[in-house]
Amino acid sequence: MSVCIPVYNGEQFLAETIRSVLAQTYQDFELVFLDNASTDRSAEIARSFSDPRIRFEHNDTLLPQGDNWNRVVELARAPLVKVVCADDLLHPRCLELQVPPLEADPGIAVVAARRHMIDERGKVIAPRRGLRA
């Protein structure tokens, strides 16, 4: 599994996002961090984490958001990819629950889950958003 974080000026929540990825119960993943020519401390924050699963990449010039997302997926080395925004938090069991169905059935292309929308303090403002059932 490749967990990919494309980021542009995401310093406010980036450390917490990275911690949520590294805290997964499913541990067999690489974390690909792609800095999109940020002008803030995003790259410095990401590089402050010392974990062999993290790979740091950098764009010399600012790419449009869609191109940056495509590039981070291209950099992934694993057959399964999860893109995580720089201000998202993963539930600790996210990968543990999402990887097995993808590995069990090659016909499955996407696995999604319901999510809580939170504010900048972590307070749930919209619970259980997303797909029903």
Reported as a pLDDT band with limits 50, 70 and 90, residue 55 is very high
Reported pTM? 0.91
Please state, in angstroms and rounded to a whole number, the distance separating the CA atoms of residues 104 and 106: 7
Q: Which two tokens stand for residue 2?
A: 């490749």
Q: Which residues contact 66 (CB under 8 A, 6 or more apart)?
A: none
Q: Lowest-pLDDT range, 16-25, 56-65, 115-124?
A: 115-124
**CATH 3.90.550.10 matches 2-129:** yes
Q: How much is the pLDDT for 100?
A: 96
Q: List the beta strands (DSSP E) in 24-97.
A: 30-35, 54-58, 81-83
- For the beta carbon of residue 108, count every other beta carbon within 10 angstroms: 10
Higher pLDDT, 101 or 121: 101
Per-residue model confidence (pLDDT) at position 133: 62
Residue identified by tokens 């399964």 is 80
Q: Is the pLDDT of residue 11 over 90?
A: yes
* β-pair partners for 81: 2
* Domain extent listing, the chain: 2-129
What is the overall mean pLDDT for the chain? Answer: 93
**Rounded distance, CA 24 to CA 84, Å?**
13
